Structure 1
């Protein structure tokens, strides 16, 4: 089983859950639901640590870099992520109503209705709540970043780097391996309640929109980069193919960095900028991930006849652009970082809807990662162009 990738395991979990919910005795379904419930409690306990580990270390790392270029790169990456999320909302709002209407919402009804409850539960409350974790992470991250700019704070930086490694280890050795069981329990319960086919009938269409939307946004990014730099965007896109395919195959932005640096070289990005920009953007630029999370969130809200207006979703998108910093460093990190903010739009951070979001996201995570890292090289080309102009201007002044 270790040789089987995460996506096949998730698909196996969904299929197993549907079969168990459809044909197994109630006691078997309830046993699986109990296991899923215990996992959910542990996940809820870990979520604040995920925020502290990822966000603190990610913001603190921004002390490294090349002064103005760091700010420019970070601004462009954040802006691109927000534009991607807003585009996903616009597309979802325009297209999803064609197959998610009031009849679908009424057919699905309350996703928790008719579901089985676990045999028992363990009262496991998080050590800190999500809001406290966010405020603490931002405060510590910004504080450490400021200290490092003055030659201090390295000890604190190392502490939070190692804390992030612990959180990553928990994700990679406990949470991610057990996700198929968690998802199997969720789908078994949904099937037992008689809702699974209605839900799956919606989401295969969502996938047909989300993955092409990644490619459309990549084309927009490279076209904008081509306009700014004067380079041929289609040639840059062609040079990016090895990086895209590597990300699809590895499902890891970190593993794609060496290939992505080579893609940037083929696009004519200077050594200084490509070796600075590509690793940084692999951490802070999440255009593909936010397209997926936003699209799935809108679909879930529509399916349950909940408010999915722009005023509801946009603050969520703005927060995700920050909260998912450094999330690509761990498997499924983007959706795990997004979970605490689902209540902003009315979706509980645990339970059936949350596990449905996890399942939907992770089954296409490799495509979201590929969109993330490929867009990094569009940013690298723009930053390299800005750096060249700044250098020429500095030389004239000198």
Structure 2
């Protein structure tokens, strides 16, 4: 019993918090407004700590990469892992839709978002805002995570180039990394209360919307998404580290999965992922590079939903989705959407606009793809967030690094 408490005590407390939150959300909805601030406080504390955590984790890891772990090799392998596995997720979704087609769905025209008619920026401006910000202070916003990650990366590279003269600075960012890890441990002590409160809000607000016109595509997404989560992530863990990799991945993926489910935020799940990576034995030089970059650029859940949304739009319009040109275009759009979705504010909507503009879809398809994107968010977040850890395992294997367990 003591061993169970020692190994799973935090997870059991978190599960208890989520169960209590679910009960409150379903049976005592009037209390949700009073306990939601507890969840907001917890998330705000988490978001505030993530910015310095990213800086110290990434810059110290890059600065300390030795000759045997060249940064260029890690980046090249990481990019290949991201691209190949996202294409696998997209093609697997196409296959499932072919086997289990979804019948015509009624569309709800009231769901059109004013945002769709908002931004008039061209694609060049969007790429600039995607990769950079105009003021240093803007880097410190979680709305600019990718520019901040790139900046942290460049700081680490600069420290490497300076060499011995940067020893004091490198020691500082290493110390900062350890301090931020301890701060996150302290914050996560109140996770059962904070996540439980936020889960009550999620159940209360999102639960009733999961029924109606979109039941069939949503059911398909959730059933296939859950199967993908267990089957494909287990396969990737096995490729990375054999049978031991599967067991150690799932043992340490429970807490990140519950965090993602409760918060619907990949960013809020990143600290749990970094801690899981450490317990799995992924070298910190790889985990501190792959997981933060994967947080913005690697999204299995978004890949699956992208294909589903394109398919649903075609069904609504009575068009044939299962043509090679259409499918190849859909996969290409999906690769772009998984990058865009996490890199900039409202990136998911921009990804949907990309889809609509490429295919020339009429306005009738817009509400359907937006509603589906909103309602699949809980499971999509789990797939997006926890996929970063298994991707880091694959990068460890393919860079011929050793798991530290």
Same fold (TM over 0.5): yes
CA distance in structure 1 between the partners assigned to 2:133 and 2:345 by the alignment: 23
Conserved 8 A contact 2:303-2:337? no
- TM-score w.r.t. the length of structure 2 is 0.56
Deviation at 1:201, TM superposition (A): 5.5
Match of 2:353 in 1: 339
1:258 aligns to what?
271
Tell me what 1:362 maps to. 374
Q: Which runs of 5+ in 2 are unaligned?
A: 1-24, 26-57, 63-70, 146-210
Q: Residue 273 of structure 1 contacts residue 383 of structure 1 at CA under 8 Å; is this kept in 2?
A: yes
CA displacement, residues 60-91 of structure 1 (integer Å, 9 cap, x when unaligned): x9xx9621211211221122112211211221
Sort the Cα spacing of 1:166 and 1:255 in 2 relative to 1 into closer, same or farther, 3 A.
Answer: closer
Match of 1:151 in 2: none
**Does 2:101 align with 1:96?**
yes
Q: Is the 8 A contact 1:244 1:370 kept in 2?
A: yes
In structure 1, the gaps of 5 or more residues are 1-7, 9-60, 145-155, 170-199, 392-398
- Residue 21 of structure 2: aligned partner: none
Aligned residues: 270
Task: Provide the residue aligned with 1:34 in structure 2.
Answer: none
8 A Cα contact 2:340 2:350, kept in partner: no
Deviation at 1:157, TM superposition (A): 5.7
1:247 aligned counterpart, secondary structure: helix
Q: 2:384 aligns with which of 362, 365, 372?
A: 372
Matches within 5 A, 1:138-149: none
Structure 1-normalised TM-score? Answer: 0.57
Question: Aligned partners of 1:337 and 1:79: how far apart in 2?
Answer: 20
1:306 aligns with 2:319: yes
Q: CA deviation at 1:271?
A: 1.8
1:31 maps to which residue? none
Sort the Cα spacing of 1:269 and 1:163 in 2 relative to 1 into closer, same or farther, 3 A.
closer
Distance (Å, rounded) in 2 between the aligned partners of 1:389 and 1:166: 31
Q: Does 1:79 align with 2:102?
A: no
Pairwise CA distance, 1:326? 5.3
Q: Deviations over 1:82-128 (max 9, x none)?
A: 2211211221122025xx1xxx47xx5xx69xx89x9xx9xx78644
Tell me whether 1:381 sits opposite 2:393 in the alignment: yes
Give the conservation status (yes or no) of the 8 Å contact 2:78–2:290: yes
Using a 3 Å threshold, how does the CA distance of structure 1 residues 74 and 157 change in structure 2: closer, same or farther?
Answer: farther
User: Partners in 1 of 2:283 and 2:135 — Cα distance?
Assistant: 33
RMSD (Å) for aligned C-alpha atoms: 4.0
Whole-Å Cα distance in 2 between the matches of residues 159 and 336 of structure 1?
23
